[in-house]
Amino acid sequence: MSDESLTTYIEQNGIAAGLNKLLALSADLPVDHQLLNILNSGFGTLPFPGGGETLQRWRALSYVSLHNMSLAKLYEGHTDAVAILQELDAVSAPIQECWAMWAAESPSHRVRVKTQAGTGQTVISGSKFWCSGARVAKRALLTAWLPEEPECQLVSVSMSDPSIRIASDAWSSSGMVEAHASKVVFDQTPATLVGRPGDYLRRPGFWHGGAGIAACWYGGALAVADKLYKFMQQGDALHPGRPYLACALGKVDRVLGGLVALLHESAAWIDANPEANAMAVALRARQAAEAAAMSVLEETGRALGATPFTRDAAFARAVADLQLFIRQSHGDRDDAALATAILERGEYPWKL
């Protein structure tokens, strides 16, 4: 599809639909190439959360996740980094390049920030784990730590700097293989401070971005549920197991339908309250998306049996990817945090 015809398609059908069309045309490319194709086709910046088009942003993320969850992990990281840079007024950052966003923290392996004596250059040193897209990103936004500061500091780096080493640790899981989550080692790497200490967690967009992950998990759940849906659509109406397959599909519809409604409601709330604390909204959406994904995995697997796991490579990959992707959730800890958040809001949470 030419740039001109893609632009026309987007104008007529919206960003998410245009992105979905592009994904279908590039499905045979390696994930890294698909990501660059997305960015080079004008999809590097999605509508910013809280700006009135949050649902459009989430639709785009869900479409990418439905297509390929490793790609969604990289694309969500890029679009999150761009949104953070915009929110913190990092106007000089080259957002047209491919970005990664790394905020996972290991208590024993923190990246430290210091100022070099004599030159005044800000540099970082240390190791960062779970760095998805380290081999494709041109620039990275990451959390690091200043001396004597109790809150983390965002910094940006150029991934082409020779002081950066990407460790080639073995990836044992069959899920999210193409996300290339590596350990990255920085050794006096030149860095630019972005915002002030604590801004990463204090800004309203922190929870907006967290809620966007729920849209990715939703898209991943669709990639699994779609197999059951199509089997029922095209299957033999007299198949002896059809009543049990129908039962599974009904359960899947119930959880996915509820999640869709919640994502609509959450996006609308964020757009109506862009500066408010969206912790409860984000955690509710994330935990609902995780629960829905787990239900879809269970019901679809029980209904269809072993055959698609062993004969359908795309389905088997989607299952493995989703099982790992939702482990980005903090499980019971996030449920407890959600309880705290709704109690602190002081409003009855379940009014119709």
User: 139-144 and 182-190 as β-strands: parallel, antiparallel, unpaired?
Assistant: unpaired
Q: What angle do CA 287, 291, 297 make, to 5 degrees?
A: 145
Indicate the SS3 state at residue 166.
strand
> 241: which 2 tokens?
């197991």
Per-residue pLDDT of the chain (352 residues; tens, 9 = 90+): 555 555 565 555 678 888 888 998 888 899 999 999 999 998 999 999 999 999 999 999 999 999 999 999 999 999 999 999 999 998 677 878 999 999 999 878 899 999 887 788 999 999 999 999 999 999 999 999 999 999 999 999 999 999 999 987 767 888 999 998 899 999 999 999 999 999 999 999 999 999 999 999 999 999 999 999 999 988 776 676 788 999 999 999 999 999 999 999 999 999 999 999 999 999 999 999 999 999 999 999 999 999 999 999 999 999 999 999 999 999 999 999 999 999 998 889 999 9
Give residues with Cβ within 8 angstroms of 201, minimum separation 6.
151, 152
Q: Are 192 and 122 in contact (CB under 8 A)?
A: yes
Q: Are 266 and 213 in contact (CB under 8 A)?
A: no
pLDDT (0 to 100) of residue 237: 66
pLDDT (0 to 100) of residue 171: 77
User: 99-102 and 139-144 as β-strands: parallel, antiparallel, unpaired?
Assistant: parallel
pTM of the model: 0.94
pLDDT (0 to 100) of residue 7: 57
At how many degrees (to 10) do helices 205-234 and 242-272 cross?
160
Distance between CA atoms of 62 and 67, rounded to whole angstroms?
9
Distance between CA atoms of 41 and 55, rounded to whole angstroms?
21
Provide the residue count of the chain.
352
Q: Are 219 and 255 in contact (CB under 8 A)?
A: no
Kindly give the residue spans of alpha helices, DSSP state H, lying in the chain.
Answer: 3-13, 15-25, 31-38, 54-67, 69-87, 199-202, 205-234, 242-272, 279-304, 307-311, 313-325, 332-345
Distance between CA atoms of 5 and 23, rounded to whole angstroms?
15
Give residues with Cβ within 8 angstroms of 261, minimum separation 6.
none
pLDDT (0 to 100) of residue 11: 55
Cα 83 to chain centroid distance, Å, stands at: 13
- List C-alpha distances in Å: 156 to 191, 296, 332: 6, 38, 32
Identify the H or E element spanning 123. Answer: strand 122-131
Nearest to 131 by CA among 175, 88, 89, 77: 77
pLDDT (0 to 100) of residue 8: 61
pLDDT (0 to 100) of residue 265: 98
pLDDT (0 to 100) of residue 90: 86
Nearest to 78 by CA among 113, 40, 105: 40
Beta bridge partners of 156: 141, 192
pLDDT (0 to 100) of residue 65: 96
Nearest to 284 by CA among 267, 271, 302, 296: 267
DSSP assignment letter at 112: E
Distance between CA atoms of 128 and 126, rounded to whole angstroms?
7
